[in-house]
Amino acid sequence: MFSLSSTVQPQVTVPLSHLINAFHSPKNTSISVSVSASQNHHRDVVPDHEAAGNEPVLNLRDLGLSELKIGQIDQLVDSLLPGFCKGKSISSHWHTSHVSAQSFFENKYGYLDMFSTLRSSCLYRQHSRTLKSICSDLQCWPVFIQSRGFKTLKSRTRRLQSTSERLTETQHITPSFVKGFLLRDRGSDVESLDKLMKTKNIPEAHQDAFKTGFAEGFLKAQALTQKTNDSLRRTRLILFVLLLFGIYGLLKNPFLSVRFRTTTGLDSAVDPVQMKNVTFEHVKGVEEAKQELQEVVEFLKNPQKFTVLGGKLPKGILLVGPPGTGKTLLARAVAGEADVPFYYASGSEFDEMFVGVGASRIRNLFREAKANAPCVIFIDELDSVGGKRIESPMHPYSRQTINQLLAEMDGFKPNEGVIIIGATNFPEALDNALIRPGRFDMQVTVPRPDVKGRTEILKWYLNKIKFDQSVDPEIIARGTVGFSGAELENLVNQAALKAAVDGKEMVTMKELEFSKDKILMGPERRSVEIDNKNKTITAYHESGHAIIAYYTKDAMPINKATIMPRGPTLGHVSLLPENDRWNETRAQLLAQMDVSMGGRVAEELIFGTDHITTGASSDFDNATKIAKRMVTKFGMSEKLGVMTYSDTGKLSPETQSAIEQEIRILLRDSYERAKHILKTHAKEHKNLAEALLTYETLDAKEIQIVLEGKKLEVR
Ligand SMILES: Nc1ncnc2c1ncn2[C@@H]1O[C@H](COP(=O)(O)OP(=O)(O)OP(=O)(O)O)[C@@H](O)[C@H]1O
Ligand SMILES: [Zn+2]
């Protein structure tokens, strides 16, 4: 309570002395009504004043004042706040002229409602109250006054005063801060400083200087910390800017942007790839496919020409063929020939783990394409998006994507100028709804190239590198049955790399043969240490194959014999069909079996039955397969007749044993024929084996020279 003056003073500016005097003056006058009596009355109305319980209740007696009557309280308040009790109209108990209000209006007419609030809570009841409650009301009042719009002269002065105080404070902020810092821990700091000064025996006269030095050191440390913080902030800023640049650069990189394009969210953009530089000229060895696609090119170039008679062109073309046969290349060539945008999408791009993303990508792709018609949409690996719609708990939403694809394909008119080319290696895996007319209704087969096609492809890719004129692409083509266009391209590339590694200026047949063997049988194993005995056995084994092939009329011509370990083999003889064999005769099949037997027969004849090796197992596999197919599939056994036996497990035991018997006879006869040939040409066999031991690898010409008994030129 006695902090009243300090609480009220700044606002109401009633000095404490004034207040004390005011309290004392009514005490001296005669008072007839006791405050306690009125207090009883008051108790009825405001019981909470009593309920204050333990709270120290301060009344006038506490101040050493005698009890006051109600009229005296007015006197007291009047002397405290002159004019407070004047004009006792209900609406303006606190209407005083020296207190200004929120507005001109209030200033002029009084605090109407606000004062009624105050009144109801305290003075209006005109009951005597404890001094504490009066004071607490007084405390309310100044708070109210504090927010007024007009300032009294005194408060203004005080405000100015306090502002100037604040100003001086700010001006001396750093020293005061340091001071504060030093003072805050003064106990410990001064103690330690004092201790330090004591232990260092610093004379009294220098102690001040010592302290000043300490403070200066502190300030310098502060400045250093500030500097470090600044540079740290700068470094962070630079790193952040660099990071932003890095991300921007990555996004600008075409390769990465393509990746982002295909891997980011729902609204991934689709950019057409203009393939002006790819034409049918670039696709070799698939003439039929090119011819079929030629009409699609015509349609894209001139749609009216085809639709004038009311005809419809296919919406979708399905390219079917093994991997690497040039399906993508063909689709690009179609767009390139017609000079229209080419939209590429891989089926796996639509295979998303998030529900609806695949379908959304399909929608985007078709929307873009339709806006840029005429154009070509190419969907590679169509089977991964258009596979059969199976009900699987693992892929509950897999149908969404294919349904979207079907809907999009139905969604545009056949002559709108958008051609969808799909490619797949497994046409049988496609959903039937996708391959019905009106969707992918045209199928174009892109097979592995034949010997002519392989020669063309090899020539095409050889023309892109430096090669020797002695290179005969046809020989390589003959030795690469079943190679796809991509594999042939790889063969030429590997040969070019090998020539570069060997320091040659041009690619020769040697490098091409090398890379062919590498692709067919794995890399050479030059580091493998093979002892002479094993080398000799291998040389006789391989030359046994070669001799049979050379002296059997219907066998394929020899291309090469080698005892260089490669992949899982210790040596091999490669034979070259003159042409791709579409059909094989009985004599050709028997000759193949005889050539297979040549290896083991050679081992037996040269080293004896006890020294035959395990090296002939794959030869026997090969021979047995041929014999079995002759008996069970090709109707080439007299005893079993012209009948196929597909599932030998389900056959009667008699038939099974009859088949086995026939196969065994074929193999035994083959073995005997091979034995006869090797016995007959024992000298040539020996010469060839020795040549192989000397030269490791012999090509067709060299084998011929050796077998004709001529001497090989020293290499
Ligand atoms: N007939 C061909 N003529 C020329 N180059 C070819 C031929 N076939 C394949 N290639 C070469 O092989 C590469 C791969 O071929 P492409 O991607 O077109 O095969 P694909 O049939 O689409 O294979 P996948 O089924 O695996 O997608 C081509 O970029 C091209 O360099
Ligand atoms: Zn063999």
CATH code at position 697: 1.20.58.760
Question: Is the distance from the beta carbon of residue 345 to the nearest atom of ligand 1 less than 6 Å?
Answer: no
- How far, in Å, is the centroid of ligand 1 from the Cα of 327? 6
Residue 391 pLDDT: 55
Rounded distance between C-alpha atoms, residue 91 and residue 113, angstroms: 8
Q: If you take atom 31 of ligand 1, which residue's CA is the nearest one?
A: 486
User: Does the annotation count 696 as an active-site position?
Assistant: no
Residue 374 pLDDT: 83
Confidence of residue 501 (pLDDT cuts 50, 70, 90): very high
Residues with CB under 5 A from ligand 2 (ion): 599, 619
- My answer on whether 545 and 455 are in the same domain is no
More confident residue, 313 or 487: 487
Does 109 fall in a domain? Answer: no
Domain count, the chain: 3
Q: Which residue range(s) make up the domain with 489?
A: 451-521
- How far, in Å, is the centroid of ligand 2 from the Cα of 329? 40
Q: Which long-range contacts (CB under 8 A, 24 or more apart) does 554-559 make?
A: 554/585, 554/587, 554/588, 554/590, 554/591, 555/588, 555/591, 555/592, 555/594, 555/595, 556/591, 556/592, 557/700, 558/700, 558/703, 559/475, 559/478, 559/479, 559/699, 559/700
More confident residue, 480 or 393: 480
Question: Is the distance from the beta carbon of residue 145 to the nearest atom of ligand 1 less than 6 Å?
Answer: no
Q: Active-site residue among 67, 542, 662, 702?
A: 542
Q: Choose the final residue of a domain: 411, 445, 479.
A: 445
Question: Is the distance from the beta carbon of residue 457 to the nearest atom of ligand 1 less than 6 Å?
Answer: yes
- My answer on whether 416 and 304 are in the same domain is yes
- My answer on whether 551 and 650 are in the same domain is yes
Question: Is the distance from the beta carbon of residue 543 to the nearest atom of ligand 1 less than 6 Å?
Answer: no
Q: What is the largest CA-CA distance in the chain?
A: 162
- How far, in Å, is the centroid of ligand 1 from the Cα of 497? 20
Does 299 fall in a domain? Answer: yes
- My answer on whether 687 and 612 are in the same domain is yes
Does 191 fall in a domain? Answer: no
CATH code of the domain containing 438: 3.40.50.300
Mean pLDDT value across residues 527-554: 91
pLDDT at residue 346 greater than cutoff 60 = yes
- My answer on whether 594 and 698 are in the same domain is yes
Rounded distance between C-alpha atoms, residue 491 and residue 25, angstroms: 122
Q: If you take atom 16 of ligand 1, which residue's CA is the nearest one?
A: 326
- My answer on whether 486 and 508 are in the same domain is yes
| Closest by CA position to 50, among listed 126, 120, 59, 125 | 59
Does 638 fall in a domain? Answer: yes
Which numbered ligand comes closest to the C-alpha of 378?
1
- My answer on whether 426 and 507 are in the same domain is no
Confidence of residue 354 (pLDDT cuts 50, 70, 90): low
- My answer on whether 292 and 375 are in the same domain is yes
- My answer on whether 438 and 455 are in the same domain is no
pLDDT at residue 139 greater than cutoff 50 = no
More confident residue, 232 or 78: 232
Rounded distance between C-alpha atoms, residue 318 and residue 432, angstroms: 13
pLDDT at residue 64 greater than cutoff 70 = no
Mean pLDDT value across residues 418-442: 83
Question: Is the distance from the beta carbon of residue 376 to the nearest atom of ligand 1 less than 6 Å?
Answer: no
Please report, in angstroms and rounded to a whole number, the separation of the first and last CA atoms in the chain: 122
Q: Choose the final residue of a domain: 475, 490, 521.
A: 521
Which numbered ligand comes closest to the C-alpha of 460?
1
- My answer on whether 333 and 379 are in the same domain is yes
Residues 405, 412 contacting (CB under 8 angstroms):
no
Does 38 fall in a domain? Answer: no
Report CA-CA distances (Å) from 286 to 306, 342, 474, 518. 25, 21, 17, 26
More confident residue, 259 or 325: 325
- My answer on whether 547 and 513 are in the same domain is no
